[in-house]
Chain A
Amino acid sequence: MGQHPRLRELKFTLHRIFRNPAAIIGFTLLFFFTAVAIFAPQIAPPKYAHNPYIMPHKGYSPTPKPPSKASIFGTTSGQYDIFYGAVWGTRTAFKIGLFVVGIATIVGIALGAISGYYGGIIDEILMRITDIIWAIPTVVLAMAIVVAFGRGLDKIMIALALIEWRWYVRVLRSEILTLRDQDFVHAARLMGVSDLKIILRHILPNAIYPVLILASMDMGSMVIIAAFMSFVGLGAPPGYADWGQMVALARNYIVGPPDYPFKFWYTIVVPGGCIVLFVLAWNLIGDALRDAFDPRLRRR
């Protein structure tokens, strides 16, 4: 009974998260991917020291080669080593996710907090601007921006960051709107606490939960969208260690010769599997977080 209440709540929340077997699987997968990303130079030593993301290739033959001793997962069309691509692709995926979600979260929280807390004309203007950006689906708008700014993975990341913050503004704003009228906020204001402090110390810690859930799911979604853009040819150039790019290379070989249609299964299963497992990890974590933070489900 003598434990600090915050510690007790934290323990209870952790218990609720890990009570869910999905969370355990998600965190395990995430741990595995993080390890691969961190130890990439050791697992798959880069051929070009100046840019480890360029995949090594022996020759230019368009036909993929099956897994062998030389290349564990085989090679893609153009003889890029799939294993190398899968390992360094993990780093690319983390780069994309963290960059986009990081910027989107910061911008979204800042704008959402201002809009939700102060209301009035600021709120109206910000909401109309958000509405305008909201009107076009992510992929479509990203394509338009990429065409304007040029191809490349970095351009895609910037484009997505410019688009994704719209979700965070909405989510945070709606949470703040409910919290803003609660008694503890009124009390803090009456005591003379400055607005910034109220937002940071009182409102945000309560409003942050849906943002965390959204951020977790977004880590996965951004990787999917970036992969699709690379697949279409707007993203990473061929030979770059990006899972989506590797699937693009596999496109002409998904259906093999009539007698053995699955001949080139490794060209699509390996990079595709990496994408799916990575996104699945983040989605499982997000789902477990959603269940753990749901106030209705808490005390069961």
Chain B
Amino acid sequence: METLLETKDLVTNFYTYEGVVKALNRVSMVVDHGTTFGLVGESGCGKSVTVRSVMRIVQEPGLIENGKVIVYLDEEDKRAGIDLLQQSEAYMEKLRGDQISMIFQEPNAALNPTLSIGDQVSESFLFHQKREMCTKIVDDLTAPGCRTFYPLRRLEETIYRAAAKTPDAFLLKIFDRMPLLSRWQKRLKKEAKKRTVEIVRKLGIPNPEQVVDQFPHNLSGGMKQRIVIAIALACSPVLLIADEATSNLDVTIQAQILDLLRKLKNEAISSILLITHDLGVVAEICDRVGIMYAGNLCEVADVREIFHNPLHPYTRALLDAVPKLSAKGVLKSIEGNVPNLVDPPPGCRFHPRCPHTMDICRKKPPKMMKTGNNHLTACFLIGGGEE
């Protein structure tokens, strides 16, 4: 498997009134092409912050302090890794929605209530696929069966040819802002709408032509989430990041969405980075799992490994805490509380709650070490290895 995304020693802090929240403490994570990576952890452990740092949409007062986020967009070319943290905002704007997409937890709030569904999905196409659409329009205009009035057709052809060459031309931007001249976009918008209907249909929504003209409040929660996925998948991204995308849905809808994601993974997307706190979802759909605690990545392994052979004490406690029908007696829980990240415990952040704490755990943070077949653990007890 080729590496798609690699974060190295990612550090993100939030500067709040109560102090500096050290949300990410040198997170190093690897996601491969063609896999579904599940990032698991309790609420507040930094899963969302990690992926938002990758996409560089961390909200104020957060700041990405240090580290590298390297993407290898081209599966073939291993040397073409790009550090996203060094790129300009314009580059990131081109990347988001096109190569890497993200879907969020609350589908009811994720859509703009005053814009139609079609408008919002078309935006993805209009941001990233202008060139392809313009070329297609030019082809349509020069095709023999075209019935538009000849001079108008020539004019549109010239405009679209120019737009296909330089979609971000300054002149076109000015035209967009003026009331009458922005009409040149009519064909472009119609083409985008066509593509919108297609992708909405592909996601299993009935009557896409009508749905496209409706507004978010006309749709149910599950449908809205499908639309959100449609927006994310519009430009066939290489990586889809799902930030607790099914946590707010009914279990049945959740199952449908997971099925949908599985189907689409084979057809449209290459890789998925799924964030969840639900181990059941992880078992269903993920190929590889990473466990996070208090801003640190504790353990990473293939999904079967993690469930059959959990090594890190936190992972083991987590799996122990899942109630099983066959078990009897008192439910097991993890002693203590999630630490305050303004003043986190020194050394390993899990050490106050760990049943196997050693002296060194209080002093130094453990490094991620190989502890088996594709299995990485950050624990002095398991992996050994001092800094």
Indicate whether A and B are direct neighbours in the complex (CB within 8 Å): yes
Interface residues of A (CB under 8 A from B): 12, 15, 299-300
CA distance A300 to B17 in the complex (A): 6
Task: Please give me the 7 A-B residue pairs with the lowest Cβ-Cβ distance, nearest first.
Answer: A300-B61, A299-B16, A299-B17, A300-B17, A300-B16, A12-B17, A300-B60
Closest chain A residue, CB of each to CB of B61: A300
Contacts of B16 in A (CB 8 A): 299-300
CA distance A15 to B16 in the complex (A): 14
Contacts of A300 in B (CB 8 A): 16-17, 60-61
Interface string of B6-38 (1 = CB under 8 A from A): 000000000011000000000000000000000
Interface residues of B (CB under 8 A from A): 16-17, 60-61
Contacts of B60 in A (CB 8 A): 300
Q: Give the distance to chain A from B13, nearest Cβ to Cβ, in Å.
A: 14
Q: Give the distance to chain A from B345, nearest Cβ to Cβ, in Å.
A: 16
Closest chain A residue, CB of each to CB of B15: A300
CA distance A296 to B61 in the complex (A): 13
Q: Give the distance to chain B from A5, nearest Cβ to Cβ, in Å.
A: 14
Q: Give the distance to chain A from B233, nearest Cβ to Cβ, in Å.
A: 32
Q: Give the distance to chain A from B14, nearest Cβ to Cβ, in Å.
A: 10
Of B16, B17, B60, chain A has the most CB atoms within 10 Å of the CB of B17
Q: Give the distance to chain B from A183, nearest Cβ to Cβ, in Å.
A: 18
Closest chain B residue, CB of each to CB of A15: B17
Contacts of B17 in A (CB 8 A): 12, 15, 299-300
Contacts of A12 in B (CB 8 A): 17
CA distance A299 to B17 in the complex (A): 7
8 A-B pairs whose Cβ atoms sit less than 8 Å apart in the complex: A12-B17, A15-B17, A299-B16, A299-B17, A300-B16, A300-B17, A300-B60, A300-B61
Q: Give the distance to chain B from A84, nearest Cβ to Cβ, in Å.
A: 48
CA distance A183 to B133 in the complex (A): 51
Q: Give the distance to chain A from B59, nearest Cβ to Cβ, in Å.
A: 11
Closest chain A residue, CB of each to CB of B340: A1
Closest chain B residue, CB of each to CB of A1: B340
Contacts of B61 in A (CB 8 A): 300
Q: Give the distance to chain B from A275, nearest Cβ to Cβ, in Å.
A: 37
CA distance A12 to B18 in the complex (A): 10
Q: Give the distance to chain A from B361, nearest Cβ to Cβ, in Å.
A: 25
Closest chain B residue, CB of each to CB of A19: B17
Contacts of A299 in B (CB 8 A): 16-17
CA distance A15 to B17 in the complex (A): 10
CA distance A15 to B18 in the complex (A): 12
CA distance A299 to B18 in the complex (A): 9
Q: Give the distance to chain B from A4, nearest Cβ to Cβ, in Å.
A: 17
CA distance A290 to B238 in the complex (A): 46
Q: Give the distance to chain A from B209, nearest Cβ to Cβ, in Å.
A: 38
CA distance A43 to B60 in the complex (A): 51
Closest chain A residue, CB of each to CB of B60: A300
Closest chain A residue, CB of each to CB of B16: A299
Q: Give the distance to chain A from B57, nearest Cβ to Cβ, in Å.
A: 18
Q: Give the distance to chain A from B344, nearest Cβ to Cβ, in Å.
A: 16
Q: Give the distance to chain A from B74, nearest Cβ to Cβ, in Å.
A: 41
CA distance A89 to B281 in the complex (A): 72
CA distance A300 to B60 in the complex (A): 8
CA distance A97 to B16 in the complex (A): 38
| Supplied contacts A300-B16, A300-B17, A300-B60, 5 more A-B pairs, CB within 8 Å | A12-B17, A15-B17, A299-B16, A299-B17, A300-B61
Closest chain B residue, CB of each to CB of A16: B17
CA distance A36 to B17 in the complex (A): 37
Closest chain A residue, CB of each to CB of B18: A299
Q: Give the distance to chain B from A242, nearest Cβ to Cβ, in Å.
A: 44
Closest chain B residue, CB of each to CB of A298: B17
CA distance A84 to B376 in the complex (A): 83
Q: Give the distance to chain A from B339, nearest Cβ to Cβ, in Å.
A: 14
Q: Give the distance to chain B from A8, nearest Cβ to Cβ, in Å.
A: 11
CA distance A191 to B16 in the complex (A): 38
CA distance A12 to B60 in the complex (A): 20
